[in-house]
A and B are shown apart, each in its own frame.
Chain A
Amino acid sequence: MSEPRSSWPLYEVFVRGKRGLNHVHVGSLHAPDDEMALRNARDLYTRRNEGVSIWVVPAAAITASSPDEKDPFFAPSGDKVYRHPTFYAIPEDVPHL
């Protein structure tokens, strides 16, 4: 009896839509190894010229922030309005600013 297919590791797939854009997460798939993951990703996620470059990453290799600590984790950026250009009042007749 063969191993169930789910014993193939899960890969997350990222595709660069065209030159000049970031790779964007498009979904996931299972594959026995990195090379098959890449080929399967091509067949599954770029059947209509959706990409010029693909990354596959073992899902187990991704470290993610936890949703439970969402508020405290992002709190440091929450109270720093002075990081935004709109924080600064500039007279309207000052050009190019």
Chain B
Amino acid sequence: MDEELQREFDRVVAAEQRIEPRDWMPEGYRRTLIRQIAQHAHSEIIGMQPEGNWITRAPSLRRKAILLAKVQDEAGHGLYLYAATETLGADREDLTQKLINGRQKYSSIFNYPTLSFADVGVIGWLVDGAAICNQVPLCRTSYGPYARAMIRVCKEESFHQRQGYELLMTMMRGTEAQRRQVQDAVDRWWWPSLMMFGPPDDASSNTEQSMAWRIKRHTNDELRQKFVDMSVPQADKLGVTLPDPELRWNAERGHHDFGTPDWDEFWRVVKGDGPCNAQRVAHRRKSHDDGAWVREAATAHAAKRAAKESAA
């Protein structure tokens, strides 16, 4: 029986059709998806913090409204993704507990601090740009609810990236000090952005199986290359220098050659030793705890109303 179910699963995946929640699926597929989607959801939720840091200090009402909308989108993306994990049998509260107890990870990029308002622009341009490279292929991932969530996310990320680039263009037209802030932010975020695609292919333990299941459609190194090729002309147009002396066009390959990210730093931050790891998780835990009374009050109100209705 299991063999037959496995054959049907393999056939659906190979035919580029989608696996849906109530279909039979291998346990490993389910586990991998829950881990990946939860990690993705956590990243969206933690990702609210570095930019939320600047909402009260945005330089104009226009920038504040944009930033608020963007941070609200991140919350929305987190919720679309938690909803997708629940179709696999995960429990949202359990995932939140795993995040605030440090048992599940989120993207390491959010463990870096946002030191100036230019960081808001660079996060939109580079961090959201890298996220888009990662996420566009996920719109065709083999698990239906994940693919559908990613379609919604990608539509909204485009606004994120464009507002960031426009913010940077505005600063580059400003004072010398503003241009220096932009360059400084680019210098700090470029390498962590390249690390967002994960370790090199030969060190990525999950890639092969995920590609076979068509959860993942491209390898980490392929996506990283694509991101570099996209970013170089954008940096030129902006008038900033990407901090990589080895970066140059390779006509033979039809791609840019570029340097190697500091993978020791990557693993240090993944393992918890980044500039903001402790702060990010502590803040998430605190806001969850601070919101407990709201959850209790809403539950009590619903119970009271239900009791009134059944008495009437």
Residues of A within 8 A of B (CB): 2-8, 10, 26-30, 32-33, 36, 43-44, 47-48, 64, 66-67
Sample (13) of A-B pairs whose CB atoms are under 8 Å apart? A2-B293, A2-B299, A5-B295, A27-B145, A28-B87, A29-B83, A32-B299, A36-B302, A44-B80, A47-B73, A47-B76, A66-B22, A67-B22
Asked whether A36 and B299 contact (CB < 8 A) given A27-B80, A67-B22, the answer is no
Partner of B92, one of A30, A32, A47, A64: A30
- Are B299 and A7 closer than 8 Å at their CB atoms? yes
CB distance from B23 to the nearest CB of A (A): 5
Chain A residues near B83 (CB, 8 Å)?
27-29
Overall SS of chain B's interface:
helix
User: For the complex, is B212 an interface residue (Cβ under 8 Å from A)?
Assistant: no
- Nearest residue (CB) in A for B301 is A32
In angstroms, Cα B299 to Cα A44, docked, is 20
- Are A28 and B299 closer than 8 Å at their CB atoms? no
Overall SS of chain A's interface:
mixed
Chain A residues near B76 (CB, 8 Å)?
43-44, 47
- Are B299 and A27 closer than 8 Å at their CB atoms? no
- Are B93 and A6 closer than 8 Å at their CB atoms? yes
- Nearest residue (CB) in B for A12 is B83
In angstroms, Cα B20 to Cα A6, docked, is 22
CB distance from A58 to the nearest CB of B (A): 12
- Are A6 and B301 closer than 8 Å at their CB atoms? no
In angstroms, Cα B102 to Cα A14, docked, is 35
Chain B residues near A48 (CB, 8 Å)?
156
Per the 8 Å Cβ criterion, residues 261-312 of B in contact with A are 292-293, 295-296, 298-299, 301-302, 305-306
In angstroms, Cα B22 to Cα A27, docked, is 15
In angstroms, Cα B80 to Cα A92, docked, is 51
- Are A5 and B302 closer than 8 Å at their CB atoms? no
Per the 8 Å Cβ criterion, residues 121-146 of B in contact with A are 145
- Are A5 and B72 closer than 8 Å at their CB atoms? no
- Are B24 and A8 closer than 8 Å at their CB atoms? no
Partner of B86, one of A3, A28, A67: A28
In angstroms, Cα B22 to Cα A32, docked, is 25
User: For the complex, is B91 an interface residue (Cβ under 8 Å from A)?
Assistant: yes
- Are A32 and B302 closer than 8 Å at their CB atoms? yes
In angstroms, Cα B78 to Cα A27, docked, is 13
Question: C-beta contact mask, B205-245 vs A, less than 8 Å → 1, else 0?
Answer: 00000000000000000000000000000000000000000
Q: A2-B296, A36-B298 are in contact. List 15 more A-B contacts (CB 8 A).
A: A2-B292, A2-B293, A2-B295, A5-B96, A6-B94, A8-B299, A27-B149, A32-B301, A33-B302, A33-B306, A44-B79, A44-B80, A64-B22, A67-B20, A67-B24
Chain A residues near B302 (CB, 8 Å)?
32-33, 36
Chain A residues near B24 (CB, 8 Å)?
67
Chain B residues near A3 (CB, 8 Å)?
295-296, 299
CB distance from A51 to the nearest CB of B (A): 13
Per the 8 Å Cβ criterion, residues 78-124 of B in contact with A are 79-80, 83, 86-87, 91-94, 96
CB distance from B104 to the nearest CB of A (A): 16
